[in-house]
Amino acid sequence: MPQADAGQDPAFTQIRYDIAAPRVARITLARPAKRNAQGTRMTYEIDAALRLACDDEAVSVIVLAADGDHFSAGHDLSMSEGPMGAPRERTSLWGEFGTPGWEGLYTREREVYLEMTERWRNAPKPVIAAVQGSVISGGLMLMWFADIIVAADDARFRDNTGSDMGVPGVEFFAHPFELGVRRAKQMLFTGGWLSAQAAAAAGMVNEVVPRAQLHERALELAQEIARTDRFALKLMKASVNAAQDAMGRREAMQTAFANHQIGHLQNMLLHGFPIDITRLPDSVRRHLEEALAASGGMPSARKPSED
């Protein structure tokens, strides 16, 4: 089988892919000026990079890192990208991404956020996330699909989709399984911040280290894990994931995704947009209003080139 190239793939524009150490691949979110906000392009590039690492027989462990001060500010609300990847990149069999009503937008969210993140969570090779700074809403999804999370001591976490946007939590709704029921409710109800230390106490992150040691520690842990037989690692990961799913995770997540869509529809009826932009910070709200005005309103899930 072909080996992954240790250099930068020229097709990647919002991430970097490299071989960080023997048997360790690294995917780095590379939009620091946007606080690594997750747009459509980044989503499909992460998917391609994970496939690259999983197809490489020389790779046993994957590290997910991020440039800049913050791991991820969540979904990109700038409306500067097409909402879907190219047809050859898509993974869902639902289709009809550009149909009217809620069908197209529902299918888009199912593809880009729910099904994509679920597949990443079930990637056979262990993934270690190294997180720093702010991890907000959709950024939690990028972190939660990892098997092990190492946090810098300045890391902090929140999901403000309910408190600020009128949507009941992000699409990949892992909160109760990551934090426990009561901490999950507090995070969602208040939209408040959870420190790295509190996240570690709740079991959401494995280790908290000084910021200067974050990437060194993540790589050190990856190399330690990479000494274990690769097939044994795959089987162990599959067994633990199956145990969590037997606790009802998949069923709970499907219900939460349906509730997420109801939240979007409520906002469409009340505000004409899938989120309540009236509760956003003024700077974010103004930017979104300008983007909406420039685009002529709600975008279709279909890219213009496909019309």
pLDDT at 231: 98
DSSP state of 278: G
Burial label for 54, CB within 10 Å (0-12, 13-18, 19+), is: middle
pLDDT of residue 133: 98
- Residue 302's pLDDT is 45
Instruction: Kindly report the pTM of this predicted structure.
Output: 0.90
Predicted pLDDT of residue 283: 74
Question: Which pLDDT does position 101 carry in this prediction?
Answer: 84
pLDDT, block means (10 residues), the chain with 307 residues: 42 96 98 94 95 97 98 87 70 76 89 95 98 98 98 98 94 97 97 98 98 98 98 98 97 97 94 87 78 66 37
Strand order in the sheet with 134-136: 134-136, 156-158, 194-195
152 conformational bin, left if phi > 0, alpha if psi -120 to 50, beta if neither: beta
